[in-house]
């Protein structure tokens, strides 16, 4: 596997990508100040006077196992951004694309808590969640949480 990848820039990029996805989906949002304990992005809906805290997790590799450490469970949603920047853990097959567009898995915190594995390293394994693919680009629950009107 090699030495640990320094992916600080990519992690910051993932936060900006989540912010961008929310904005282009018509959900007002902003980045939280650095060092917030439980969240990275805040989505708001002024008409309902509601806000939503979102923790962003990212995985650099296209072939990542889609698990991530998490110990702070104070946000309303966790968004796992699969950055898909290249193969890190195995050799790609000849017809595979090592780099592709990022994927966004939008997980409500109740799902995260239900599947949270507590131990020396507290983790979530995305593939352990039933119907985990249904959370891909699933921004509607964020809109519902904020009590936004349905999209036209």
Domains and CATH numbers, the chain: 8-145 (3.40.1350.10)
Q: Is 25 helix (H, G, I), strand (E, B) or coil?
A: coil
User: Which of 23-32, 78-87, 100-109, 126-135 has the lowest average pLDDT?
Assistant: 78-87
Provide the 10 A C-beta neighbour count for residue 89: 11
Residue partners of 58: CB distance under 8 A and separation at least 6: 7, 10, 11, 13, 14, 80, 81, 82, 83
Position 1 scores a pLDDT of 46
Whether the full predicted model's pTM is greater than 0.85, yes or no, is yes
pLDDT at 143 over 90: yes
HSE (side-chain half, CA atoms, 13 Å) at 23: 10
Closest CA to 64 of 38, 26, 90: 90
Q: Report the range out of 59-68, 84-93, 94-103, 128-137 with the highest average pLDDT.
A: 128-137
127, 135, 38, 69: CA torsion to nearest 10: 10
Phi/psi for 123 (5° steps) reads -135, 165
Position 64 scores a pLDDT of 75
User: Which of 27-31, 80-84, 115-119 has the lowest average pLDDT?
Assistant: 115-119
């Amino acid at each position: 596997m090699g030495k640990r990848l320094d992916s600080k820039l990519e992690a910051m990029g993932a936060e900006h990508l989540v912010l961008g996805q929310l904005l282009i989906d018509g959900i007002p949002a902003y980045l939280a100040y650095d060092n917030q304990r439980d969240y990275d992005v805040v989505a708001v809906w002024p008409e309902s006077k509601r806000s939503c805290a979102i923790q962003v997790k990212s995985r650099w590799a296209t072939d990542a196992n889609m698990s991530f450490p998490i110990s702070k469970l104070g946000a309303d949603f966790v968004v796992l951004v699969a950055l898909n920047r290249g193969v890190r853990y195995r050799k790609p097959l000849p017809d595979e694309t090592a780099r592709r567009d990022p994927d966004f898995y939008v997980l409500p915190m109740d799902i995260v808590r239900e599947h949270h594995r507590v131990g020396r390293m507290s983790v979530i394994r995305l593939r352990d969640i039933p119907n985990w693919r249904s959370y891909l680009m699933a921004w509607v629950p964020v809109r519902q949480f904020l009590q936004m009107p349905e999209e036209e």
